[in-house]
Structure 1
């Protein structure tokens, strides 16, 4: 028989909790499993600006063709601008961008794609990926899937409830040159222990001296201290001239969970490296899922392409009780 040697896969706590919560019909239940922000009634919380964008998209009545393999270019440009800032050094004066951006199946897909790209790197040490724990449960399995070696260090200090910064710095100083560090940009999952601006600055200086590659996962931008504030780490590393990867999601902040709208941005040393990197990403997407879902990215694009809608969005981030 073909499948008789297959064993049951490792248990997924989140999957089990979701199944159990859906089966529980008690009106008093509270689902603390899957990360979805809900209102006081326990229902899906839709942003006002998103409702307007949905009405606008409905009126535009776009077709249902596939997006190009690498995604909607305007959406990607807008996504990059809120991650890096519109005046970032990654966009030079001649607009020769040093960023290779592609659309992904939300943040999970962005991280997976980034790790698959790193696995194809010719540099041996780029196969070592450092992950601070406790952390999001998918990082280590995805490293394994990509054939990358994951190394763990302590991120969370149980005594202070903050970052164990001594542990982080020790990991950086002992890592092999060229190693990758996965760092969460804001609203750390699952500890909420974020780096301060001063700690981001120290991290950047230490990683620069060790020639390490940051992989910044920014899945909650806008839900911490605001769009600009939550991207401080990303923008500081970019200003320092790092080669880096930024994995972006609009699931949490825009409430587009099931629409799977994300992006992967690879900042290259120069514009000459952008095309080969972009083409490798194109190949990986084509071979795996061909193209990303269109609906959610179209909604995000409508909001980010309109300054008044973006201002309204930022205001909702500041005032909504998630």
Structure 2
């Protein structure tokens, strides 16, 4: 029976990663997995992480399991980082927060919650091109998906009319997956004014936004990159927010993330938190502790928190400088046919050219 198991479908990212790791050329450039690399093309550990590791070693916390739903202090800091320190929804206990296996785990847990606990099951709308894991995750839990155009490949910009049209045509109480900043893989995000317009359109259809925040701080700034999430929270939306600390803390392999579900009442948030506890317990029991402890140490220290913000700002400005250099190379040095202005209009780690 076990000999009859079929191989899984190919994954281009898995294949590219294997090829890149096995390439011994000292001039190779890994353009597969979305990782911030330094001028030498290798992983760069942040100085604030180095100091947090020293502090963590002094605490001698050992390697015991965390509680099923995650470290409460870490979740406190995580929620305020994405929603803002003065978010009234947090103060009113309308947010159910749990720790996850990075942003991927947060997205999986979110769609599992939708599949198992929302009746009738909602349709989930995904803009394309987008992160390649969304649809397989949704297929895995049995949710039906609808794809629409997120990006205009002719104009090389956000396809805003297509997004509005998809919202207008969707069945009531559908779910729309949005990336809050630094869109993967296009780098094309809505403007603040467009986010306002999207909010009004979603409210008209009583739709639920699911925000995926994997790059906060690497686009326009920590507050700017959470604009959409904070706007929708202020407007009173029920919504889901997936949060990753892989990129903005450089904790890729530590799998550190959080899931936040905003509800209409504190009672609903409490029930949702308990349901998430069950789903976590039944699937993976608890999340890794090491990365979240490092984030917690940094966010609990004014000195380390400022060091982190400064380092993140330097990374963000370097990314923009690289975009300017690429734009100059293509348009002025090589005089490559085409229009390349979109490269410096986008933000984050990605750009889309076909």
**SS of aligned partner of 1:216:** strand
Q: Which residue of 2 aligns with 1:101?
A: 97
Give the match's secondary structure for 1:90: helix
The 3-state SS of whatever aligns with 2:58 is helix
Quote how far apart the aligned CAs of 1:310 are. 1.6
Structure 2 residue 209 is the aligned partner of structure 1 residue 214:
yes
Contact preservation (8 Å) 1:225, 1:318: no
**Aligned equivalents of 2:242, 2:132: Cα separation in 1:** 16
Structure 2 counterpart of 1:130, from 125, 141, 153: 125
User: How many equivalent residue pairs?
Assistant: 317
Q: Structure 1 residue 156: deviation in Å? A: 0.5
* Superimposed CA distance per residue, residues 63-110 of structure 1 (whole angstroms, 9 cap, x where no aligned partner): 111000000000001000011001112123xxx410000000000000
Per the alignment, in what secondary structure is the counterpart of residue 313 of structure 2? helix
Post-superposition Cα deviations, 1:206-239, rounded to whole Å, max 9, x if no partner, equal 1011100000000000000111010000000000
Report if aligned partners of 1:103, 1:262 keep a CA contact under 8 Å in 2: yes
**Shift of residue 305, structure 1, vs aligned partner:** 1.3
TM-score (norm 1): 0.96
Residue 252 of structure 2, aligned match among 249, 257, 261: 257
- 1:226·1:314 contact (CA, 8 Å) conserved in 2? no
- Given the two structures, how large is their TM-score scaled by the length of structure 2? 0.88
Number of the residue aligned with 2:40: 41
Matches within 5 A, 1:108-127: 108-124=104-120, 126-127=121-122
> Which runs of structure 2 are paired with 1:29-178 in the superposition (5 Å)?
29-92=28-91, 96-124=92-120, 126-178=121-173
Shift of 1:177: 0.7
Return the structure number with greater helix share. 2
SS of aligned partner of 2:280: helix
Partner of 1:166, secondary structure, is: helix
1:282 is matched with 277
Is the 1:45–1:255 contact (alpha carbons within 8 Å) kept by the matching residues of 2? yes
Indicate the larger mover: 285-294 or 42-51. Answer: 42-51
Residue segments in structure 1 that go unaligned for 5+ positions in a row: none
Which of 166, 188, 195 in structure 2 is aligned with 1:193? 188
Query: Structure 1 residue 60: deviation in Å?
Result: 1.7
User: Within 2, Cα distance between the matches of 1:297 and 1:250?
Assistant: 9
SS at match of 1:103: strand
Which runs of 5 or more residues in structure 2 are unaligned? 320-354
